[in-house]
């Protein structure tokens, strides 16, 4: 089984759920196979406009999302250009209004602190209206609770929630987590994933083929 190159909707008659990879046009957004986004409020085809915010080309920051992720309605990814610099005596973005203040246009990005890309691992579930801030890396298999605000990195297979988001618990034992990170089933060919679906769904790592 393989996703057709331009297949957008995974389910017949469901226009609220999309394969995210196949609707992305921004080269600074990279999404893995089978990652899906559901939106019952807005058109999910407008993900780049409605969900990836302050992502201006001048900053060249990137959103990287792995394979088999599930992203719920209203989840937001807020990038560096939403920040204001904290190293200045003022948070006012003077370089952004270079014409007003006789500043050099090339220094526009000095208006904000650049914390880096947003990197989402594989098999990550991001809950309803969660917010992921610039510079955050979310590990494989993590779960982000509804309306959580993620300001720091999230380890693999960790459930986080709250404002700011904090660890609630690990999904599995450390041994199982280590084995999953070594197996990397999301990198398997689709036919191998299909053969192992029962074991994946039942949480039976010992019987993975």
Q: pLDDT tens across 61-88, in order?
A: 999 999 999 999 999 999 999 999 998 9
Which of 62, 64, 76, 84 is the catalytic position? 84
Asked if residues 58 and 92 have their Cβ atoms less than 8 Å apart, the reply is no
Say if residue 204's pLDDT is above 90. no
Give SS3 for 98: helix
User: Does residue 84 have an active-site annotation?
Assistant: yes
- Predicted pLDDT at 31: 98
- Predicted pLDDT at 5: 60
Categorise residue 37: left if φ over 0, alpha if ψ from -120 to 50, beta otherwise.
beta
Q: pLDDT tens across 156-180, in order?
A: 999 999 999 999 999 999 999 999 9
DSSP-derived secondary structure letter, 40: S
- Is pTM beyond 0.85? Reply is yes
Say if residue 148's pLDDT is above 80. yes
Give the residue-averaged pLDDT of 185-205: 93
All structural domains of the chain: 17-171 (2.160.10.10), 173-209 (no CATH)
Number of Cβ within a 10 Å radius of residue 40: 11
φ, ψ at 77 (rounded to 5°): -120, 110
Report the C-alpha dihedral over residues 207, 183, 198, 30, rounded to 10 degrees.
180
Give the residue-averaged pLDDT of 116-121: 97
Say if residue 2's pLDDT is above 60. no
Distance, in Å, from the CA atom of 94 to the CA atom of 110, rounded to the nearest integer, reads 9
Give SS3 for 118: strand
- Predicted pLDDT at 1: 53
Tally of CA atoms within 13 A in the half-sphere of 181 that contains its CB: 16
Q: pLDDT tens across 6-37, in order?
A: 899 999 999 999 999 999 999 999 999 999 99
């Amino acid at each position: 089984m393989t996703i057709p190159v331009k297949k957008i909707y995974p389910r017949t008659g469901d226009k609220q759920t999309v394969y995210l990879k196949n609707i992305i046009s921004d080269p600074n957004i990279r999404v893995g196979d089978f990652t899906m986004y559901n939106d019952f409020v807005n058109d999910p085809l407008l993900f780049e406009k409605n969900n990836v915010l302050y992502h201006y080309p001048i900053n060249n920051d990137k959103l990287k999302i792995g394979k088999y992720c599930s992203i719920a309605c209203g989840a937001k990814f807020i990038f560096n250009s939403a920040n204001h610099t904290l190293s200045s005596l003022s948070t006012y973005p003077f370089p952004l209004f270079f014409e007003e203040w006789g500043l050099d246009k090339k220094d526009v990005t000095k208006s904000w602190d650049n914390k880096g890309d947003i990197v989402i691992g594989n098999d990550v579930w991001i809950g309803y209206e969660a917010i992921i801030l610039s510079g955050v890396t979310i590990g494989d298999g993590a779960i982000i609770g509804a309306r959580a605000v993620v300001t720091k990195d999230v380890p693999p297979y960790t459930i986080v929630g709250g404002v700011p988001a904090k660890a609630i618990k690990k999904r599995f034992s450390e041994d199982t987590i280590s084995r999953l990170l070594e197996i990397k089933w999301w990198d398997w060919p689709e036919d191998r994933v299909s053969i192992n679906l029962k074991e994946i769904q039942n949480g039976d790592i010992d019987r993975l083929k």
